[in-house]
Amino acid sequence: MKQLTFVLLLLTLHFFSTAQTSRKTINVSDDLQLFRITDHTWVHVSVSEIAGFGSVSSNGVIFINKGKAFLFDTPVTDSLTEMLVRIISDSLKSKLVGFVPNHWHEDCMGGLKYLQSIGIESYANQMTIEEAKKRNLPVPANGFADSLHLELAGKPIKCWYPGGGHTIDNIVVWLPDEKVLFAGCMLKEMKSKTLGNLADADIKSWPGTIGKVIRKYKNVEIVIPGHGLWGGPELLKHTRELLTKNN
């Protein structure tokens, strides 16, 4: 519990020190918080036990426009995902209409079974779908090979597969109107000294993948990793430096 309190304290301090409009935090429970980072974008931070790693804090994104919401990554469990969906409805006054996971790990799509049970449309990299089938996990309904362009009440959502990294299937989500990039676990927070879990990593491709992301999103302002504190483009450069040291 002390570790969880410290993590949430760091996130709260980081949130209030970031120069964004319409700041707001929603404390749902000891294991779930929401942070507003732009007028239309929230980061959900959940804490769950992950086998081999203990208590882990994970990030995901909620994009909201005109009473509708899109979710990028779920908490690890169905119960936390159900709680998150309820908050989207009750506190954010929005109806969840779609979901995209960053990759196949449980800290990205552990709550997909619940989302499917309430009829939420899901989209994923086709490689993620194949991994889910191979591992007997819940399977996203709609696949894409390279990129996917969606709209949320007129606001664009752009999903892109730049190559392997943390996993062979990891994607990024770009919200151009917000200048927000959710890169998930292929990026490390600034205080990270290691690359974390490499059990399913594509180490050979990872540096080139980060390079593609840096070149493609030159006007990004907010970059969100899969775990830890979000920031700006410096997270991309920091991860590339860690990869250089690792190789």
The residues annotated with a catalytic role in the active site are 103, 105, 107, 166, 185, 188, 197, 227
Concatenated DSSP letters for the chain?
Answer: -HHHHHHHHHHHHHHHHS--SS-EEEEEETTEEEEEEETTEEEEEEEEEETTTEEEEEEEEEEEETTEEEEES--SSHHHHHHHHHHHHHTS--EEEEEE-SSSSHHHHTTHHHHHHTT-EEEEEHHHHHHHHHTT----SEEESSEEEEEETTEEEEEE----SSSTT--EEEETTTTEEEEETTS--TT--S----TT--TTTHHHHHHHHHHH-TT--EEEESSS--BSTHHHHHHHHHHHHH-
